[in-house]
A = this chain, B = another copy of it.
Amino acid sequence: MATFEDIGAAAGTNILFAVAFLTAFAFLRLQPINDRVYFPKWYLLGVRNSPSQQGSFLTKFVNLDWRAYVRFLNWVPDALTMLEPQLIDHAGLDSAVYLRIYLLGLKIFVPIALLSWAILVPVNWTNNTLANGGPSAKLQYSNIGKLSISNIPYGSPRLWTHISMAYAFTFWTCFCLRNEYAKVAEMRLHFLASTKRRPDQFTVLVRNVLPDQDESVSEAVEHFFVANHPDHYITHQVVINANKLAKLVKLKKNKKNWLDYYQLKFARKQSRPMTKTGFLGLWGEKVDAIDRQSAEIYWLDKEIAEERNRVTSDPKCIMPAAFVSFKTRWSAAVCAQTQQSRNPTLWLTDWASEPRDVYWDNLAIPYVSLTIRKFVVTVAFFFLAFFFVVPVSFVQSLTNVDRILRRAPFLKPITEVRFIKSIVQGVLPGIVLKIFLLVLPRILIMIAKLEGLLSISALERISASRYYIFNFTNVVLVSVIAGTTFEQPDNFLQQSANDIARIIGVSITMKAKFFITYVMVDGWASVAGEIFRLTPLILYHLRNSLLVKTKKDREEAMDPGSIEFHTAEPRIQLYFLLGLVYAVVTPIFLPFILVFFVFAYVIFRHQIINVYNQKYESAASFWPDVHARIIYSLVISQIMLIGLMSTKGNRLSPLFLVVLVVLTIWFHVFCKGGYEPAFVRYPLQEAMRKDMLERATEPSLDLKSYLQSAYIHPVFKNGEELLPVPC
């Protein structure tokens, strides 16, 4: 354990970093040249335009108005003043509900922090266990230890305070969770009821269409739904495997951009721009650039036309899946929620996602392949989560200088410089770990794609679950286990259940300082870094000066980004977990978590209002996951407390805590039954109400033409527009 001074120093450093980021942000965001980096959302909404063309050349790039600098902290109230309904209109329900996770953190932890400081801290402080423990104990434990449960003597009746606090914290957390679940479910239903007509309200995705020798997929779908939903079926759109076509179209767009660029250059300089035929124009024969691009586009056009023909006519390109649309929301809801065929692996129906949320590549995976993929991915993720340390330390061992020299002796003269050697030795392993961690979300998304999920939102949701498990095993458990007898996995299996709980429970109190530092680095400084947007800032200016040729290019150079749900949410969950684990054990931990929640809430609210552009809208369908993970954290914290209590000489306390675990799990089951259906199914009553309303207000609506082309593969939709890049 650390002294107050240690933690104070660490806090100081991290606050310094955070303040530096915030100051830099406050300054940079005022410069017109950065406007598209810090306010892209408003550009995309069409509310804001490039800085006015009036004024001097300088004012186009630098803000010379000193009054702006005086109010440099204005962004904070600005970020907070927008009301929630406006926020939902502005950025969608997903974003608004995402922010509620931070608020939920505050709702849960502010009362818990107050209570634990008012009751637990005095109870802990007024013991002398650590002070009386002899000089070695004094060395190990310091005044922070005095505030924690470690200061309670063995078998003291004071431990009942901690157990009753565990009950109080659990009940309070469950109370908040239940209210929040009810509120979010309400918001979701209200959102679904009040959104304007969308094609996904009428459409169901049908997979594993029964192959038939006599009829095409399209005919099979039509016959099936005319027969089984006779009064409701309206139209359908078969799914086409247009992945190759999409690639060609993308390539053509790229070539076209270059052509535009060369023509612009030619117009300015009056000399034909030249290029080389080799890789990236770096070597090879010199040719006229404009002619070359035109020729290439000509051939691409031909190829695209051919592929387009092939795709629409070749039955092999038609996948056994279709988007089936119905006359009413009611009948779409019916079809999505029922089983169609006697073979439950055929004619699988599901709600169609929003068109931009569809992950097209996975639409045609048959049932057997799907279960095998699921199995393979589960096994793969298991190894990833539990043996992640192995490849990392292997690669780290490869970066050992002596090893490198054995392979590449010609590097010897360089590595003999002491400075370089020490840098390589000291920094490379850290960089290797960082690279692995940066790549992780991509790996998780990749294996989720392999698993065969059908929408981008589902990909992100499952990746978030896996990231949470990964965080638990590789951040929490590894840190807790480090330094205990479990470092050898063999040892782990040889310990009894009692010992495992005990060792982890005790170790967790010792690691409080480490996690406090973790919260400050990852929760304070990194979050401040998020608002500073260093990478998009650099990339935008690079693109702007090097690549931007047209106004459209400038639009595209702008990278608003989005809430990366699959990385951001598990991070919050880690703080929930740590907060719940330490609430009873080391109350001093809680203020650090609270600072994170407040700070992150303000910053992400600002980002959502001004920066992020969501790729899809899932109407908060991620909430059941968020809720479940907080419950898991609660249970984990209770189990760790059981382990800790079993070393404290109070034989009854583990029993009381087991009861608490059982009650918590029951609460989870209760909430799952009571609220989850609102996120998975669409109640017929709501559908009917909306249908009635629409029929009354727009009696002459031509729904068929509205739905006809809603789910055409994006490559066919707007001629040759760029595909939305998935994730």
Q: Does A342 contact B (CB under 8 A)?
A: yes
Q: Which residues of B contact A674 (CB under 8 A)?
A: 344-345, 367, 371
State the 9 A-B residue pairs at the shortest beta-carbon distance, nearest first.
A344-B677, A339-B681, A375-B666, A337-B338, A371-B670, A494-B496, A339-B683, A342-B683, A496-B496
Q: Which residues of B contact A374 (CB under 8 A)?
A: 669
Cβ–Cβ contact A342 & B498, under 8 A: no
Across the interface, A337 reaches (CB within 8 A) one of B339, B670, B673, namely: B339
Q: Which residues of B contact A499 (CB under 8 A)?
A: 494, 496
Q: Does A685 contact B (CB under 8 A)?
A: yes
- Least Cβ–Cβ distance between A623 and chain B, in angstroms: 14
Q: Which residues of B contact A498 (CB under 8 A)?
A: 493-494
- Least Cβ–Cβ distance between A633 and chain B, in angstroms: 21
Q: Does A662 contact B (CB under 8 A)?
A: yes
- CB neighbors of B among A665-698 (8 A): 666, 669-670, 673-678, 681-686, 688
- Least Cβ–Cβ distance between A170 and chain B, in angstroms: 15
Nearest chain B residue, comparing its CB with the CB of A330: B228
Cα of A488 to Cα of B247 in the assembled complex, Å: 68
Q: A224-B685, A345-B674 are in contact. List 14 more A-B contacts (CB 8 A).
A: A229-B684, A337-B337, A337-B339, A340-B683, A340-B685, A344-B675, A344-B678, A344-B681, A345-B673, A371-B673, A493-B498, A494-B496, A494-B498, A494-B499
Q: Which residues of B contact A673 (CB under 8 A)?
A: 344-345, 367, 371
Q: Does A334 contact B (CB under 8 A)?
A: yes
Chain A interface residue count, CB cutoff 8 Å, equals 48
Nearest chain B residue, comparing its CB with the CB of A188: B342
Q: Does A438 contact B (CB under 8 A)?
A: no
Cα of A183 to Cα of B314 in the assembled complex, Å: 37
Q: Which positions in A face B, CB cutoff 8 Å?
A: 189, 224, 227-229, 231, 330, 333-334, 337-342, 344-345, 347, 367-368, 371, 374-375, 379, 493-499, 662, 666, 669-670, 673-678, 681-686, 688
Cα of A344 to Cα of B368 in the assembled complex, Å: 32
Cα of A337 to Cα of B495 in the assembled complex, Å: 48
The answer to whether residues A684 and B339 also contact, given A334-B334, A493-B496, A669-B371 and a CB cut-off of 8 A, is: yes
Cα of A338 to Cα of B681 in the assembled complex, Å: 8
- Least Cβ–Cβ distance between A383 and chain B, in angstroms: 12
Q: Which residues of B contact A681 (CB under 8 A)?
A: 338-339, 344
Q: Which residues of B contact A496 (CB under 8 A)?
A: 493-496, 499
Cα of A334 to Cα of B662 in the assembled complex, Å: 36
Across the interface, A228 reaches (CB within 8 A) one of B338, B379, B495, B684, namely: B684
Cα of A677 to Cα of B330 in the assembled complex, Å: 23
- Least Cβ–Cβ distance between A694 and chain B, in angstroms: 15
Q: Which residues of B contact A688 (CB under 8 A)?
A: 227-228
Cβ–Cβ contact A683 & B337, under 8 A: no
Q: Which residues of B contact A676 (CB under 8 A)?
A: 344
- Least Cβ–Cβ distance between A691 and chain B, in angstroms: 10
- Least Cβ–Cβ distance between A677 and chain B, in angstroms: 4
Q: Which of A342, A344, A499, A681 has the most CB of B within 10 A?
A: A342
The answer to whether residues A677 and B367 also contact, given A227-B688, A493-B496, A498-B494 and a CB cut-off of 8 A, is: no
Q: Which of A224, A227, A368, A683 has the most CB of B within 10 A?
A: A683
Nearest chain B residue, comparing its CB with the CB of A675: B344
Cα of A375 to Cα of B662 in the assembled complex, Å: 9
Cβ–Cβ contact B338 & A338, under 8 A: yes
Cα of A411 to Cα of B477 in the assembled complex, Å: 65
Q: Which residues of B contact A345 (CB under 8 A)?
A: 673-674
Cα of A374 to Cα of B224 in the assembled complex, Å: 41
Q: Which residues of B contact A670 (CB under 8 A)?
A: 368, 371, 375
Cα of A675 to Cα of B340 in the assembled complex, Å: 14
Cβ–Cβ contact B493 & A682, under 8 A: no
Cα of A374 to Cα of B667 in the assembled complex, Å: 12
- Least Cβ–Cβ distance between A224 and chain B, in angstroms: 8
Cβ–Cβ contact A333 & B338, under 8 A: yes
- Least Cβ–Cβ distance between A654 and chain B, in angstroms: 10
- Least Cβ–Cβ distance between A136 and chain B, in angstroms: 28
Q: Which residues of B contact A333 (CB under 8 A)?
A: 338
Nearest chain B residue, comparing its CB with the CB of A494: B496
Nearest chain B residue, comparing its CB with the CB of A334: B334
Nearest chain B residue, comparing its CB with the CB of A659: B379
Cα of A231 to Cα of B328 in the assembled complex, Å: 14
Cβ–Cβ contact B495 & A686, under 8 A: no
Q: Which residues of B contact A677 (CB under 8 A)?
A: 339, 344
Cβ–Cβ contact B338 & A684, under 8 A: yes
Q: Please, could you name 15 A-B residue pairs with CB atoms under 8 Å apart, sorted by A? A: A189-B342, A333-B338, A334-B334, A334-B338, A337-B337, A339-B677, A340-B683, A340-B685, A342-B685, A344-B674, A371-B670, A371-B673, A379-B662, A493-B496, A493-B498
Cα of A227 to Cα of B344 in the assembled complex, Å: 30
Q: Which residues of B contact A678 (CB under 8 A)?
A: 342, 344
Cα of A344 to Cα of B685 in the assembled complex, Å: 11
Q: Which residues of B contact A337 (CB under 8 A)?
A: 337-339
Q: Which of A338, A347, A670 has the most CB of B within 10 A?
A: A338
